[in-house]
Amino acid sequence: MKTQGIIKYLKFPLQFDATLMFNELQASIQQQWVPHFNTGGYEGNWNVLSLYAVGGKADTIFVPLTNDLELEETAVLKQCPYVQEVIASFHFPKIAVRLMRLEVGAVIKPHRDHELGYEDGQFRLHIPIVTNPGVHFILDGEELTMRAGECWYTNVNYEHSVVNEGAEDRIHLVIDGVRNEWSDQLFFAEADPAQFVAPKAVMDPATIQRVIEELKRQDNTDNNALIAELEKQLLE
Protein backbone atom coordinates (compact mmCIF):
# COMPACT_ATOMS: atom_id res chain seq x y z
CA MET A 1 0.00 0.00 0.00
CA LYS A 2 1.33 3.42 -0.94
CA THR A 3 1.87 6.18 1.61
CA GLN A 4 -0.92 8.77 1.73
CA GLY A 5 -0.74 12.57 1.95
CA ILE A 6 2.17 14.95 1.31
CA ILE A 7 5.45 13.06 1.52
CA LYS A 8 7.88 14.40 4.09
CA TYR A 9 9.73 11.10 4.52
CA LEU A 10 9.77 7.52 3.29
CA LYS A 11 11.14 4.28 4.71
CA PHE A 12 12.13 2.12 1.76
CA PRO A 13 11.84 -1.69 1.78
CA LEU A 14 15.63 -2.02 1.87
CA GLN A 15 17.85 -3.50 4.56
CA PHE A 16 21.65 -3.35 4.70
CA ASP A 17 24.16 -5.00 7.03
CA ALA A 18 25.00 -2.14 9.40
CA THR A 19 27.42 -4.28 11.43
CA LEU A 20 29.46 -5.15 8.34
CA MET A 21 29.55 -1.50 7.29
CA PHE A 22 30.76 -0.44 10.73
CA ASN A 23 33.40 -3.17 10.89
CA GLU A 24 34.79 -2.11 7.50
CA LEU A 25 34.86 1.56 8.46
CA GLN A 26 35.99 1.23 12.06
CA ALA A 27 39.75 1.43 11.46
CA SER A 28 39.48 4.57 9.34
CA ILE A 29 36.83 6.56 11.17
CA GLN A 30 38.71 6.77 14.44
CA GLN A 31 40.89 9.69 13.32
CA GLN A 32 39.65 11.39 10.16
CA TRP A 33 36.44 13.14 11.21
CA VAL A 34 35.99 16.82 10.36
CA PRO A 35 33.66 19.09 12.37
CA HIS A 36 30.59 20.14 10.40
CA PHE A 37 31.21 23.64 9.02
CA ASN A 38 27.83 25.00 10.21
CA THR A 39 29.18 25.54 13.72
CA GLY A 40 26.30 27.79 14.75
CA GLY A 41 23.77 25.10 13.92
CA TYR A 42 24.66 22.54 16.59
CA GLU A 43 25.92 22.01 20.11
CA GLY A 44 28.42 19.33 21.08
CA ASN A 45 30.25 17.34 18.41
CA TRP A 46 28.75 16.78 14.95
CA ASN A 47 31.40 15.42 12.59
CA VAL A 48 31.58 14.44 8.94
CA LEU A 49 33.75 12.12 6.84
CA SER A 50 33.41 12.13 3.05
CA LEU A 51 33.35 8.85 1.14
CA TYR A 52 32.95 10.55 -2.25
CA ALA A 53 34.30 14.07 -2.61
CA VAL A 54 35.81 16.53 -5.05
CA GLY A 55 39.39 15.37 -5.56
CA GLY A 56 38.76 12.30 -3.40
CA LYS A 57 39.60 14.25 -0.24
CA ALA A 58 37.88 12.85 2.85
CA ASP A 59 38.09 16.21 4.63
CA THR A 60 36.19 18.04 1.86
CA ILE A 61 32.80 17.92 3.51
CA PHE A 62 30.95 20.79 1.87
CA VAL A 63 28.17 19.70 -0.49
CA PRO A 64 28.36 21.79 -3.70
CA LEU A 65 25.20 23.57 -4.84
CA THR A 66 25.93 22.34 -8.35
CA ASN A 67 26.12 18.71 -9.46
CA ASP A 68 28.60 19.50 -12.24
CA LEU A 69 31.66 18.66 -10.15
CA GLU A 70 33.11 15.16 -10.54
CA LEU A 71 33.35 13.21 -7.30
CA GLU A 72 35.98 10.59 -6.56
CA GLU A 73 36.22 7.82 -3.99
CA THR A 74 38.16 8.79 -0.88
CA ALA A 75 40.88 6.56 0.55
CA VAL A 76 38.49 5.51 3.32
CA LEU A 77 35.89 4.17 0.89
CA LYS A 78 38.48 2.31 -1.18
CA GLN A 79 39.13 0.10 1.85
CA CYS A 80 35.46 -0.80 2.35
CA PRO A 81 34.09 -3.14 -0.36
CA TYR A 82 30.69 -3.69 1.25
CA VAL A 83 30.12 0.03 1.75
CA GLN A 84 31.04 0.48 -1.92
CA GLU A 85 28.44 -2.16 -2.77
CA VAL A 86 25.76 -0.39 -0.74
CA ILE A 87 26.45 2.96 -2.43
CA ALA A 88 26.61 1.38 -5.89
CA SER A 89 23.20 -0.20 -5.38
CA PHE A 90 21.66 3.28 -5.78
CA HIS A 91 21.71 3.97 -9.51
CA PHE A 92 21.47 7.75 -9.57
CA PRO A 93 24.11 10.52 -9.78
CA LYS A 94 25.59 11.38 -6.38
CA ILE A 95 26.10 14.94 -5.15
CA ALA A 96 27.71 13.82 -1.90
CA VAL A 97 28.27 10.61 0.04
CA ARG A 98 29.30 11.12 3.66
CA LEU A 99 29.40 9.57 7.08
CA MET A 100 27.84 11.84 9.69
CA ARG A 101 28.50 11.26 13.38
CA LEU A 102 26.46 12.90 16.14
CA GLU A 103 28.26 12.26 19.39
CA VAL A 104 26.62 11.52 22.72
CA GLY A 105 24.94 14.65 24.13
CA ALA A 106 25.13 16.59 20.85
CA VAL A 107 22.21 18.54 19.41
CA ILE A 108 21.54 19.63 15.81
CA LYS A 109 19.36 22.71 16.13
CA PRO A 110 16.11 23.11 14.15
CA HIS A 111 16.89 24.18 10.59
CA ARG A 112 15.92 23.74 6.95
CA ASP A 113 18.13 22.77 4.04
CA HIS A 114 18.13 24.35 0.59
CA GLU A 115 16.00 22.68 -2.13
CA LEU A 116 16.74 19.12 -1.08
CA GLY A 117 13.32 17.53 -1.45
CA TYR A 118 12.51 14.99 -4.15
CA GLU A 119 10.34 17.52 -5.99
CA ASP A 120 13.43 19.72 -6.36
CA GLY A 121 15.27 17.09 -8.37
CA GLN A 122 17.76 16.50 -5.54
CA PHE A 123 17.23 14.46 -2.40
CA ARG A 124 18.81 12.94 0.71
CA LEU A 125 18.88 9.35 1.93
CA HIS A 126 19.90 8.18 5.41
CA ILE A 127 21.21 4.70 6.24
CA PRO A 128 21.89 4.39 9.99
CA ILE A 129 25.06 2.44 10.78
CA VAL A 130 25.14 2.99 14.54
CA THR A 131 22.17 4.38 16.46
CA ASN A 132 20.39 4.03 19.79
CA PRO A 133 16.94 4.64 21.34
CA GLY A 134 18.15 7.99 22.72
CA VAL A 135 18.48 9.50 19.24
CA HIS A 136 15.52 11.76 18.46
CA PHE A 137 15.18 12.92 14.85
CA ILE A 138 12.31 15.41 14.54
CA LEU A 139 11.04 16.33 11.07
CA ASP A 140 8.32 18.98 10.89
CA GLY A 141 7.19 18.13 14.41
CA GLU A 142 7.18 14.34 13.91
CA GLU A 143 9.76 11.99 15.38
CA LEU A 144 11.27 9.42 13.01
CA THR A 145 12.80 6.22 14.39
CA MET A 146 15.48 5.11 11.95
CA ARG A 147 16.96 1.72 12.82
CA ALA A 148 20.37 0.40 11.85
CA GLY A 149 20.60 -0.80 8.25
CA GLU A 150 17.33 0.80 7.13
CA CYS A 151 17.09 3.31 4.29
CA TRP A 152 15.10 6.53 4.70
CA TYR A 153 14.31 9.55 2.56
CA THR A 154 13.80 12.76 4.52
CA ASN A 155 12.59 15.96 2.92
CA VAL A 156 14.91 18.35 4.69
CA ASN A 157 13.21 21.38 3.17
CA TYR A 158 11.02 20.95 6.24
CA GLU A 159 12.37 22.03 9.61
CA HIS A 160 14.25 19.23 11.32
CA SER A 161 16.48 18.68 14.34
CA VAL A 162 18.33 15.84 16.04
CA VAL A 163 19.46 15.16 19.61
CA ASN A 164 21.54 12.23 20.82
CA GLU A 165 20.56 11.50 24.41
CA GLY A 166 21.84 7.93 24.23
CA ALA A 167 25.01 6.24 25.41
CA GLU A 168 26.77 5.86 22.04
CA ASP A 169 27.50 8.04 19.05
CA ARG A 170 25.07 7.99 16.13
CA ILE A 171 26.66 7.34 12.72
CA HIS A 172 24.67 7.56 9.47
CA LEU A 173 25.65 6.99 5.86
CA VAL A 174 24.11 10.01 4.12
CA ILE A 175 23.71 10.06 0.34
CA ASP A 176 22.63 13.17 -1.55
CA GLY A 177 21.49 12.28 -5.06
CA VAL A 178 20.04 13.62 -8.29
CA ARG A 179 16.64 12.38 -9.38
CA ASN A 180 16.52 10.14 -12.45
CA GLU A 181 14.36 7.33 -13.88
CA TRP A 182 15.84 4.76 -11.51
CA SER A 183 15.09 6.87 -8.43
CA ASP A 184 11.59 7.59 -9.75
CA GLN A 185 10.91 3.85 -9.74
CA LEU A 186 12.19 3.60 -6.17
CA PHE A 187 10.18 6.55 -4.86
CA PHE A 188 6.99 6.11 -6.85
CA ALA A 189 6.66 2.50 -5.73
CA GLU A 190 6.00 4.01 -2.29
CA ALA A 191 4.04 7.17 -3.16
CA ASP A 192 2.44 8.97 -6.10
CA PRO A 193 4.39 11.76 -7.85
CA ALA A 194 1.81 14.39 -6.88
CA GLN A 195 2.51 13.75 -3.18
CA PHE A 196 5.98 15.27 -3.36
CA VAL A 197 5.29 18.87 -2.40
CA ALA A 198 7.34 21.00 0.00
CA PRO A 199 8.11 24.58 0.91
CA LYS A 200 11.19 26.08 -0.63
CA ALA A 201 13.93 26.67 1.90
CA VAL A 202 16.12 29.77 1.67
CA MET A 203 19.51 29.95 3.34
CA ASP A 204 19.83 32.63 5.98
CA PRO A 205 22.76 35.12 5.73
CA ALA A 206 24.81 33.38 8.44
CA THR A 207 24.59 30.05 6.59
CA ILE A 208 25.48 31.72 3.27
CA GLN A 209 28.56 33.25 4.89
CA ARG A 210 29.68 29.88 6.26
CA VAL A 211 29.20 28.31 2.83
CA ILE A 212 31.35 31.06 1.26
CA GLU A 213 34.08 30.49 3.84
CA GLU A 214 34.10 26.74 3.18
CA LEU A 215 34.25 27.26 -0.60
CA LYS A 216 37.18 29.65 -0.20
CA ARG A 217 38.93 27.17 2.09
CA GLN A 218 38.84 24.58 -0.68
CA ASP A 219 40.98 26.92 -2.85
CA ASN A 220 39.39 25.66 -6.07
CA THR A 221 38.95 28.11 -8.97
CA ASP A 222 35.85 26.17 -10.05
CA ASN A 223 34.13 27.62 -6.95
CA ASN A 224 34.69 31.27 -7.88
CA ALA A 225 31.44 31.75 -9.79
CA LEU A 226 29.42 30.18 -6.98
CA ILE A 227 31.21 32.33 -4.38
CA ALA A 228 30.37 35.44 -6.38
CA GLU A 229 26.71 34.44 -6.62
CA LEU A 230 26.48 33.79 -2.88
CA GLU A 231 28.21 37.08 -2.07
CA LYS A 232 25.67 38.81 -4.30
CA GLN A 233 22.84 37.22 -2.26
CA LEU A 234 24.32 38.71 0.93
CA LEU A 235 24.00 42.19 -0.58
CA GLU A 236 20.39 41.81 -1.67
pLDDT, tens digit, 9 for 90 and up, residues 129-156: 999 999 999 999 999 999 999 999 999 9
Tell me the C-alpha distance between 29 and 214, whole Å. 22
Q: What is the pLDDT of residue 204?
A: 66
Decide if 49 is inside a domain. Answer: yes
CATH label of the domain that carries residue 160: 2.60.120.330
Question: What percentage of the chain reaches a pLDDT higher than 90?
Answer: 52
Q: In which domain, by residue range, is 177 found? A: 9-202
Report the domain count for the chain. Answer: 1
pTM of the predicted model as reported, rounded to 2 decimal places: 0.80
Average pLDDT, stretch 164-171? 96
Q: What is the pLDDT of residue 231?
A: 79
pLDDT, tens digit, 9 for 90 and up, residues 64-75: 545 556 778 888
Decide if 107 is inside a domain. Answer: yes
Decide if 78 is inside a domain. Answer: yes
Decide if 2 is inside a domain. Answer: no
Average pLDDT, stretch 171-195? 95
Q: What is the pLDDT of residue 213?
A: 80
